[in-house]
């Protein structure tokens, strides 16, 4: 091929040939696989929902086993790090000793929270990933005592008196709390996990910084509950 004056190719078609595409599997493809789209804020948003059970981690005389669910949303700061805001609702049973001390026949703890929880993915370009998560925020804890009380039940044909558990006393507290843990997640969409949809399983340690309480809730017997509410929530869910 001859060169024109100045060293440029004399064949215009040769000068217009496109450069070869980047090999498959480089960062531009891995960005898609990991769900990372740089400055595209819509694609950087992420949502989650899940549920599971809780095990007591502290003094088992103050709280027992129960269930929970959580929902959350946030934004991916980079391929590995996401900043999440999460809402969680926990329903755990009260130990029999506290129920008997109050003079009731049943009881539960309801805990709901809003927390900020950063999440770090260790393998953001893989379809199988492990991650660390933790954070803290606001927690509200309500302790309820129940008794079986008469209650009117009605159908289309008649009304009658039956018996059902009803709240007869309660006390509550507002406080901070924190959690830390980790989990496993699987991305759908082939061996490189091209889909944004992920299923996950995780476990955390949760410490609600509730105060010690000695009270006669709504005229029930004097009840004493120690400070702190420590749980291990286990959650299964999905992320987008």
In this prediction, residue 202 carries a pLDDT of: 98
Instruction: Please state which of the ranges 7-11, 137-141, 145-149, 232-236 shows the lowest mean pLDDT.
Output: 7-11
Are the C-beta atoms of residues 36 and 80 closer than 8 Å to each other?
Answer: no
Residue 114 φ then ψ, to 5°: -125, 120
For residue 83, how far is the Cα from the chain centroid? Answer: 12
Nearest C-alpha neighbor of 143 from the set 166, 112, 111, 103: 111
State percent of the chain over pLDDT 90. Answer: 52
Give the helix ranges, DSSP H, for 8-108.
12-15, 27-34, 41-44, 96-102
Residue 28, pLDDT above cutoff 60:
no
Read off the pLDDT of residues 171-228 as tens digits, 9 standing for 90 and up: 999 999 999 999 999 988 755 545 778 999 999 999 999 999 888 888 888 888 888 9
In this prediction, residue 183 carries a pLDDT of: 97
H or E, element range at 93? strand 81-93
DSSP summary character for residue 219: G
Task: For each of the domains in the chain, give its residue range(s) and CATH number, in order of start.
Answer: 23-143+173-239 (2.40.160.20)
Read off the pLDDT of residues 29-78 as tens digits, 9 standing for 90 and up: 445 445 555 566 777 899 999 999 999 997 777 899 999 999 999 999 99
């Amino acid at each position: 091929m001859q060169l024109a004056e100045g060293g440029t190719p004399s064949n215009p078609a040769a000068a217009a040939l496109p450069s070869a595409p980047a090999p498959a599997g480089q960062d531009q493809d891995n960005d898609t696989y990991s769900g990372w789209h740089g400055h595209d804020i819509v694609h950087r948003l992420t949502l989650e929902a899940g549920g599971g059970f809780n095990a007591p981690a502290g003094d088992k005389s103050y709280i027992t086993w129960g269930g929970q669910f959580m929902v959350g949303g946030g934004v991916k700061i980079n391929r590995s790090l996401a900043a999440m805001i999460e809402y969680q609702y926990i329903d755990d049973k009260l130990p029999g000793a506290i129920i008997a001390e109050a003079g009731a026949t049943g009881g539960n703890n309801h805990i709901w929270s809003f927390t900020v929880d950063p999440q770090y993915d260790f393998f953001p370009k893989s379809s199988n990933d492990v991650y660390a998560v933790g954070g803290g925020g606001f927690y509200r804890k309500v302790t309820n005592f129940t008794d079986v009380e008469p209650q009117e039940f009605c159908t289309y044909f008649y009304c009658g008196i039956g018996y059902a558990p009803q709240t007869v006393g309660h006390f509550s507290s507002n406080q901070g709390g924190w959690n830390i843990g980790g989990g496993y997640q699987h991305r759908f969409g082939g061996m490189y996990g091209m889909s944004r949809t992920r299923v996950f399983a995780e476990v955390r340690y949760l410490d609600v910084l509730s105060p010690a309480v000695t009270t006669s809730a709504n005229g029930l017997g004097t009840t004493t509950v120690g400070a702190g509410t420590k749980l291990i929530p286990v959650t299964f869910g999905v992320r987008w």
